[in-house]
Amino acid sequence: MINLILFGPPGSGKGTQAAKLVEKYDLLHISTGDLFRYEMGNDTELGKQAKEFIAKGELVPDSVTIGMLKNKVNANSDVAGYIFDGFPRTIPQAEALDVFLSEKNESVSALIALDVDDEEIVQRILNRGKTSGRPDDNDESIIRNRIEVYKSETSPVFDYYAQSNKSVKINGLGSIEDIFERLCDKIDQL
């Protein structure tokens, strides 16, 4: 089973690349951001809990996010593997994922980080905001806060998996096809 963490700052292309990887490798794409947006769209209890954090570009509390992730995996166990997109976002989320997978005799196969600089990210997200309908994509100060949160809370997850030699970084600039090829090169080595 492949348990791939697709990593990188907001706007680095994780969702775009995950959609292509799913076709090639027959994996289930789990985007915690998409799951939150679905819950918010349906005005569920979970959506209400997440909304205030997402609006500010802050992280939803670990317990909420981890619970949601586990439910999604458990409801879709009959797959060749998973692409985790936007999760784990914190060290406690990474630790919880490791325990959760080990209970299934599974483990994280690799973490692949898409490397994109801050100014490119801001431009990409503002551009995406024109069509995404996401309030958190349409305000530059919120976008910059998301980048700061990524640096302080999320980027340590790269180092966490580097300890077991699972973290790799690829250049996230260039055409969608070029980046996809770089990703496939890494995945085919697993």
Residues contributing to the site for Mg ion (CB under 5 A) = 15, 33
Query: At 72, which amino acid appears?
Result: K
- For the CB of residue 80, give the shortest distance to ligand C5P in the complex, in Å: 23
Partner interacting with residue 57 (select from ligand C5P, Mg ion, none; CB below 5-8 Å by kind): ligand C5P
The answer to the question of residue 83 lying near ligand C5P (CB under 6 A) is no
Q: Is 124 a catalytic residue?
A: no
Interface residue with ligand C5P among 8, 12, 17, 57 (CB under 6 A) is 57
Partner interacting with residue 183 (select from ligand C5P, Mg ion, none; CB below 5-8 Å by kind): none
Which residue, among 175, 126, 122, 179, has the nearest Cα to 150 in the 3D structure?
A: 122
Q: Is 144 a catalytic residue?
A: no
The answer to the question of residue 100 lying near ligand C5P (CB under 6 A) is no
Q: Annotated catalytic residue: which of 20, 128, 144, 186?
A: 128
CB 63 within 8 A of CB 8: no
- For the CB of residue 22, give the shortest distance to ligand C5P in the complex, in Å: 16
Active-site positions read 14, 89, 128, 134, 146
